[in-house]
Structure 1
């Protein structure tokens, strides 16, 4: 009886999350495919937050005012960047679909060609038996080698680069000319000691916006073709350059926060050049005509994705603004905690990227068994990763706080924020992974609408909690925000709605 009940329960979509959970670390084909994509992608995606964390560490030793000022500027820059990049959120899915479709079409055409060659060779065997036999194998081998070295024709890749470049220039101009009013809106007013360093950092950092968006677009293309090692290499080189240049510009040239911004901009352009040089080898970036560029495909779900991006980032940006209104000390502590929170959580984006790329390919081939197995495995990996990060940060942050500042008041507030940063890691990881899984299923509408609802509820909690409980209230509200994000993703798959309806079969 119990066996029958369990069997029936196991058929519910909810149980896809626990499917084969004993084999979560099994080194099978799927596990290795996820690892090969997720590990380099996670390191590459976490590279920019880590670079910001390094900037934070260097700037923290200038003073708490400068640390708080840069925190506000980074929050503004990230918010605008994520809004500007909204048309390119789906680039990984589009590239994965086109690459999969192109490969299947190419294999089909080649099989037909080989069959034709064999038919012709069979007729000619009586005349030239030895020559044909030799030419047959060399012809097939030549075709295979040619296919392996041919650059792929992926229209979405070319479109993504154009869109990323244009949006980057627009973002840079917007932030340069609107820096002061934006900072005033964030709570950094004309009489605040944070205004001048915040404005300096934001304007200089904005010069790197074209490189940032172009880099994000190219990373999306590489992830779509399941190459996450190249973006990792590029970002590591760029971040090493940033680490080397930071103390030179900040302390030797005495440029303070301006030096940190200049070092970051140089590193971003270096990353973009490396990625572009590598991408040209893999993808034909010059389409036969303008008509081949698929701008409409990126803009088709543009409004929904824009809503989602604004909703996803506005809550965090508002939290930074409220922290700034409490003064430079709470803002400095919030900046340190937030950068650690984001850097570790974005490790989960590697799993999200792996899920997105593999699922997009599986859905393109209508391979629902692989889609189910992939969703199960990446979510189980996410659960394990989240628990590991919680323990790691709980132990590590007790000793690492002084790397960012020596101010006693800031250190005290950081110690208050540490429990929230550590306790929410599992929730954060699952929220990010659910996002990637739903993107892989092209479930953009649900992702947008659910995020808007989550953000509205979170903001309604954030403002009163910040007012009544200050720094602690802000972190309570962010915990609610991430918990609701994770629940929204769980609800979609767990009930078998939308593209996941096949789970009810």
Structure 2
């Protein structure tokens, strides 16, 4: 994007922010500096997000060869573990990415300013030159050290208190989650419908307890992924995740069949892979960051916990809507639930690519706002939203093919296929809306607008819950998907509303 385009966009957004976001959409795939930076962050992030579900499918395939009871048991156990992890993971990773990017950008800006001052001092009077030169050399070394550059043949790690805070919180949350799941495994499984006399209880409980031992590694590794995202490095987490998932796939048949451990062996293989991922990320992070904060005050734990709690409320509100929709579908009948699950999994799976864009937007925007670079913030928000819209349209076409022409892959039941044909239009039409909504999440987090993100989601969820109850009672399966479509539309509208009203971090658009 040329300087003229940037200036035009910036002024246009001041007059009409929402319309300005989609101006010059013809340049959406332009390979300029911003386009390349977005791609370098978004593509590895999306691939890393997709790596785990693929590995889980392979994991499930191995467990399926043990028996149908074990497969069902592990499915319930994984659902419990994932739900418990999601509550802690999402706020932790999102807050970490923004805070690390802000701190890194602020320090970089401070260092650049001091270096400019030193260069300007170099033009002092000749009589002062000799006195200044040693200071210039010393200052340059200290600047390089704080940024993790090579100094005197040694690599010096940079300080980032946000990274230290994230790792500490991640470790504590992981330990708490492990203790909770180990001691509450049976009651949680009972709540999920696995009764005490069910043949699934024993294998499900064994799997959940053993897998819970890996919770500290899961939370710690995801906290480190948030740190790397804040540094705009999504390749390192991708490589670590791929190596860890490959390790899991290799160890599965060894522990399950060779050692005869069954579902316990599958859990052991998964735990080992998670600790392996954590070790790789920790090794790489220690070469980049000094993980020991100078003092407790530097950790800023209060700021992390406050904003993390806000995002926790947001996650609970969003999750409750989807969970309620699934519950309402189950009440209609098993046929309705089967069709709902197929549509829902496709609906959620396509969000992985949009999440990659959200991550890139968040990291770049956090740096831009930290530097008060509002032109870059404006152009970044515009570009990632345009990419999100185009991505959503492409996903709509893909979903049409998957659900319309390949529905028999998921089921051969005529009744389920009939309901799928009713749900497909909603899944297809909402793809662009979903993509834009997910990208807006990244934009809000990049602007550290966590309070608005939480309260707007609670408001959207409150309206959507009422619509879910009303529309499902009147229109059944179709009513559920109509309500979910409105839910995602309201999420996207909340993002547009914040920028359109020029409030919060976007008040600079008032001019």
TM-score, length of structure 2 as denominator length: 0.82
The corresponding residue for 2:313 is: 307
Shift of 1:378: 0.3
The corresponding residue for 1:3 is: none
Report the 3-state secondary structure (helix = DSSP H, G, I; strand = E; otherwise coil) of the residue aligned with 1:347. helix
Query: What is the CA–CA distance in structure 2 between the aligned matches of 1:315 and 1:288, rounded to whole Å?
Result: 43
Given the superposition, is the C-alpha separation of residues 376 and 153 from structure 1 closer, same or farther in structure 2, using an over 3 Å criterion? Answer: same
Q: Does the alignment pair 1:90 with 2:95?
A: yes
Q: Does the alignment pair 1:20 with 2:13?
A: no
Shift of 1:322: 5.5
Q: Please tell me whether the aligned partners of residues 355 and 438 of structure 2 are also in contact (alpha carbons under 8 angstroms).
A: yes
Shift of 1:439: 1.0
Shift of 1:154: 0.7
Residues 196-215 of structure 1, C-alpha deviations (whole Å, 9 max, x = no match):
55444433332222111111
**Structure 1: runs of 5 or more not aligned:** 1-6, 126-131
> What is the alpha-carbon root mean square deviation over aligned residues?
3.8
Matches within 5 A, 1:101-500: 101-116=106-121, 119=124, 148-149=149-150, 150-190=156-196, 195-250=201-256, 257-320=263-326, 338-396=344-402, 412=417, 421-463=427-469, 475-500=481-506
Query: What is the CA–CA distance in structure 1 between the aligned matches of 2:428 and 2:248, rounded to whole Å?
Result: 27
Residues 30-66 of structure 1, C-alpha deviations (whole Å, 9 max, x = no match):
1111111111122123333333344455556667665
Shift of 1:26: 0.7
Q: Does the alignment pair 1:48 with 2:31?
A: no
Shift of 1:299: 1.9
Shift of 1:242: 2.8
TM-score, length of structure 1 as denominator length: 0.83
Query: What is the CA–CA distance in structure 2 between the aligned matches of 1:196 and 1:123, rounded to whole Å?
Result: 80
Q: Please tell me whether the aligned partners of residues 83 and 309 of structure 1 are also in contact (alpha carbons under 8 angstroms).
A: yes
More displaced stretch, 437-446 vs 417-426: 417-426
Q: Please tell me whether the aligned partners of residues 64 and 332 of structure 1 are also in contact (alpha carbons under 8 angstroms).
A: no
Query: What is the CA–CA distance in structure 1 between the aligned matches of 2:94 and 2:31, rounded to whole Å?
Result: 30
Query: What is the CA–CA distance in structure 1 between the aligned matches of 2:480 and 2:446, rounded to whole Å?
Result: 32
Shift of 1:252: 5.6
The corresponding residue for 1:77 is: 81
Query: What is the CA–CA distance in structure 2 between the aligned matches of 1:171 and 1:374, rounded to whole Å?
Result: 37
Shift of 1:379: 0.5
Shift of 1:430: 1.5
Query: What is the CA–CA distance in structure 2 between the aligned matches of 1:315 and 1:278, rounded to whole Å?
Result: 38
Q: Does the alignment pair 1:100 with 2:100?
A: no
Given the superposition, is the C-alpha separation of residues 491 and 58 from structure 1 closer, same or farther in structure 2, using an over 3 Å criterion? Answer: farther
More displaced stretch, 161-170 vs 100-109: 100-109
Q: Please tell me whether the aligned partners of residues 352 and 434 of structure 1 are also in contact (alpha carbons under 8 angstroms).
A: yes
The corresponding residue for 2:4 is: none
Given the superposition, is the C-alpha separation of residues 344 and 69 from structure 1 closer, same or farther in structure 2, using an over 3 Å criterion? Answer: farther
Report the 3-state secondary structure (helix = DSSP H, G, I; strand = E; otherwise coil) of the residue aligned with 1:375. helix
Shift of 1:218: 0.7
Given the superposition, is the C-alpha separation of residues 480 and 167 from structure 1 closer, same or farther in structure 2, using an over 3 Å criterion? Answer: same
More displaced stretch, 441-450 vs 260-269: 260-269
**Structure ranking higher on relative contact order (CA contacts 8 Å, 6+ apart):** 1
Shift of 1:437: 0.4
Given the superposition, is the C-alpha separation of residues 278 and 454 from structure 1 closer, same or farther in structure 2, using an over 3 Å criterion? Answer: same
Q: How many residues align?
A: 491
Query: What is the CA–CA distance in structure 1 between the aligned matches of 2:164 and 2:369, rounded to whole Å?
Result: 23
Query: What is the CA–CA distance in structure 2 between the aligned matches of 1:474 and 1:183, rounded to whole Å?
Result: 27
Given the superposition, is the C-alpha separation of residues 386 and 8 from structure 1 closer, same or farther in structure 2, using an over 3 Å criterion? Answer: closer
More displaced stretch, 482-491 vs 375-384: 482-491
Q: Please tell me whether the aligned partners of residues 68 and 331 of structure 1 are also in contact (alpha carbons under 8 angstroms).
A: no
Query: What is the CA–CA distance in structure 1 between the aligned matches of 2:454 and 2:277, rounded to whole Å?
Result: 30
Shift of 1:93: 1.2
Residues 170-217 of structure 1, C-alpha deviations (whole Å, 9 max, x = no match):
111112222333333344444656545544443333222211111111
More displaced stretch, 373-382 vs 227-236: 227-236
Shift of 1:89: 2.9
Given the superposition, is the C-alpha separation of residues 179 and 473 from structure 1 closer, same or farther in structure 2, using an over 3 Å criterion? Answer: farther
Q: Please tell me whether the aligned partners of residues 157 and 221 of structure 1 are also in contact (alpha carbons under 8 angstroms).
A: yes
Query: What is the CA–CA distance in structure 1 between the aligned matches of 2:196 and 2:483, rounded to whole Å?
Result: 28
More displaced stretch, 187-196 vs 320-329: 320-329
Residues 348-367 of structure 1, C-alpha deviations (whole Å, 9 max, x = no match):
11111111111111111222
Report the 3-state secondary structure (helix = DSSP H, G, I; strand = E; otherwise coil) of the residue aligned with 1:89. helix
Residues 41-100 of structure 1, C-alpha deviations (whole Å, 9 max, x = no match):
221233333333444555566676655554444443333223223355311111111111
**Structure 2: runs of 5 or more not aligned:** 1-10, 151-155
